[in-house]
């Protein structure tokens, strides 16, 4: 029996690894991609024993044009030129004030989170078109709601949202469905892997106080009530891939659902902005702003 094939980027941990497990459980053939795959094969030892040839592990640095071209070649050769589903999951968070982030960091954030997803999608479109396939982009609650000290990350995810909405209409006549998944906080290594701006913790930074406050706030959240498990997002992704018609977006997590509720209702954006501003001033800064200066 021919099973459907999905290629997932960023499968070394978190959402990506959970998606590999979930798709395999639902009888898909999975092409799990990650950087430096040759030295990290042991990540998938258990899955290989259980599912055998239905799991393919492929090296893919999403920012490498050579790796992207090789991934396309492998899929075309092994699966008769067809790909049933592409999941753009690879990404990371760059936090810090815009002034404290270097140009190199800003460009790398957009390169990984947005340009890579767009270029991988473009490369696989012929295979997806042949299969009348699906594209699922991992966005974020920060893809529809800005947040202080995360402007670069938010911008990259807002860009993913714009890409998704546009392609959803553009590709529909060719039988390709496109959707985004917007998670809130989940129990992954995302927070551990966050990169801060080069000058974020410099004593000379204008934003040192709110940066320290945000870092402390994040640490307290991680020590508090456990957020949802990443398999909740993986379940949503597989459900999308298996559905007859994919919706434009799926919001995952209580915090994301709450923010989405505010953002998509009359006056909701003003309420959400007020709440975020309150968190920023009270939790991050611990004081008030007056004429651009901290008191």
Provide the annotated active-site residues. Answer: 153
Both structure tokens of 198: 């080069």
Largest Cα–Cα distance in the chain? Answer: 68
Q: Which of 42, 50, 47 is nearest to 31 (CA)?
A: 47
Residues 292 and 211: their CA atoms lie apart, in Å, by: 16
Residue 227 CB-half CA count within 13 A: 25
Residues in the chain, overall count: 295
Within 10 angstroms of residue 290's Cβ, the number of other Cβ atoms is 8
Q: Helix, strand, coil shares of the chain as percentages rounded to 5?
A: 55, 15, 30
Q: Residue 70 is inside which H or E element, if any?
A: helix 65-78
Q: What is the sign, positive or negative, of the torsion defined by CA atoms of 65, 68, 73, 74?
A: positive
Task: Map residue 144 onto helix, strand or coil.
Answer: coil
Residues 173 and 241: their CA atoms lie apart, in Å, by: 18
């Amino acid at each position: 029996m021919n099973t459907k094939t999905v290629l997932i980027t960023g499968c070394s941990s978190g959402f990506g690894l959970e998606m590999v497990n979930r798709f395999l459980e639902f009888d898909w053939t999975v092409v799990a991609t990650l950087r430096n795959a040759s030295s990290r094969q042991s990540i998938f030892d258990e899955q290989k024993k259980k599912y055998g040839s239905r799991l393919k592990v492929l090296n893919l640095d999403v920012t490498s044009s050579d790796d992207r071209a090789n991934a396309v070649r492998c899929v075309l050769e092994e699966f008769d030129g067809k790909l049933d589903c592409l999941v753009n999951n690879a990404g990371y968070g760059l936090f810090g004030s815009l002034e404290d982030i270097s140009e190199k960091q800003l460009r790398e954030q957009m390169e990984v989170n947005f340009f890579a997803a767009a270029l991988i999608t473009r490369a696989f479109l012929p295979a997806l078109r042949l299969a009348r396939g699906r594209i699922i982009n991992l966005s974020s609650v920060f893809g529809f709601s800005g947040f202080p000290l995360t402007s670069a990350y938010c911008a990259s995810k807002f860009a993913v949202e714009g890409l998704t909405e546009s392609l959803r209409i553009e590709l529909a006549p060719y039988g390709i469905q496109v959707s985004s998944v917007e998670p809130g906080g989940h129990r992954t290594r995302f927070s551990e892997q966050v990169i801060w701006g080069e000058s974020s913790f410099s004593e000379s930074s204008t934003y040192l106080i709110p940066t320290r406050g945000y870092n402390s706030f994040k640490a307290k959240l991680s020590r508090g009530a456990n957020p949802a498990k990443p398999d909740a997002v993986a379940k949503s992704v597989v459900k999308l891939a298996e559905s007859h018609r994919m919706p434009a977006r799926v919001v995952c997590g209580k915090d994301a659902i709450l923010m989405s509720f505010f953002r998509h209702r009359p006056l909701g954006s003003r309420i959400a902005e007020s709440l975020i501003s309150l968190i920023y001033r009270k939790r991050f800064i611990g004081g008030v702003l007056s004429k651009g200066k901290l008191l």
